[in-house]
């Protein structure tokens, strides 16, 4: 693990709808976990470009009894293996297993998952890029002073049309690959 990663070089990604296809019926197994075109390569490029890559994901399907921790671990193993095969790595995965009514601190839009990642790497989250496809991803990022970035994949197209005023000026990209390209270009400048 890359502890001591500088805050400018940490990037936090939502999972469903950003890295892999989302489903209204939940992604419940490694077989159902299907990467969005270009997302695995984008993570590898970020990793190769010097970014520490973390994933922060609400997974209420666990609380709902739709799948268990073993199935979730298999999904994340698949993610990691695909990224490694593409020449990169995922440095940390933080998950909220609670349901929407559990009143936990880790379920986005609350900032708990992001704070866990910051503590894991011993860094502040100010200006860290947080890439998501839902309003709750963006709200969690804003709550910790991170830089919310929206992608149009998953729920992002709908969310873009409904952004609240305080988030209207955030960067918006077609997908994770385009967002990664922009982040990598910004560190070369």
Which domains can be identified in the chain, with CATH numbers? 7-188 (3.40.50.1000)
Long-range contacts, 69-76 (Cβ 8 Å, 24+): 69/97, 71/28, 71/29, 71/30, 72/97, 74/29, 74/30, 75/27, 75/29, 75/30, 75/33
Per the document, the length of the chain is: 189
- Whether 14 sits among the annotated catalytic residues: the reply is yes
- Whether 181 sits among the annotated catalytic residues: the reply is no
Catalytic one of 16, 22, 91, 133 = 16
Catalytic one of 14, 22, 91, 133 = 14
**pLDDT digits 0-9 by tens, 88-110:** 999 999 999 999 999 999 999 99
The separation between CA 25 and the C-alpha centre of its own chain, rounded to angstroms, equals: 20
pLDDT of residue 110: 97
Q: Which residues of the chain have pLDDT under 70?
A: 1-8, 189
**CA-CA distance, 30 to 27, in Å (whole number)?**
8
């Amino acid at each position: 693990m890359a502890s001591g990663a500088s805050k400018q070089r940490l990037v936090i990604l939502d999972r469903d709808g950003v890295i892999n296809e989302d489903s209204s019926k939940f992604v419940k197994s490694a077989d159902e976990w299907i990467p969005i075109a270009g997302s695995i390569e984008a993570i590898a490029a970020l990793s190769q470009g010097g970014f520490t890559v973390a994933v922060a994901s609400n997974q209420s399907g666990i609380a709902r009894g739709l799948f268990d921790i073993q199935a979730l671990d298999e999904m994340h193993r698949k993610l990691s293996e695909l990224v490694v095969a593409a020449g990169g790595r995922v440095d940390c995965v933080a998950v909220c297993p609670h349901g929407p009514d559990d009143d936990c601190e880790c379920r986005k839009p609350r900032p708990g998952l992001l704070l866990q990642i910051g503590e894991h790497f011993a860094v502040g989250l100010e200006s860290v890029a947080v890439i998501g496809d839902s309003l709750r991803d963006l709200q969690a990022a804003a709550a910790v002073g991170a830089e919310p970035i929206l992608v149009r994949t998953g729920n992002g197209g709908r969310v873009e049309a409904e952004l609240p005023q305080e988030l209207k000026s955030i960067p918006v990209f077609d997908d994770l690959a385009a967002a990664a390209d922009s982040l990598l270009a910004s560190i070369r400048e």
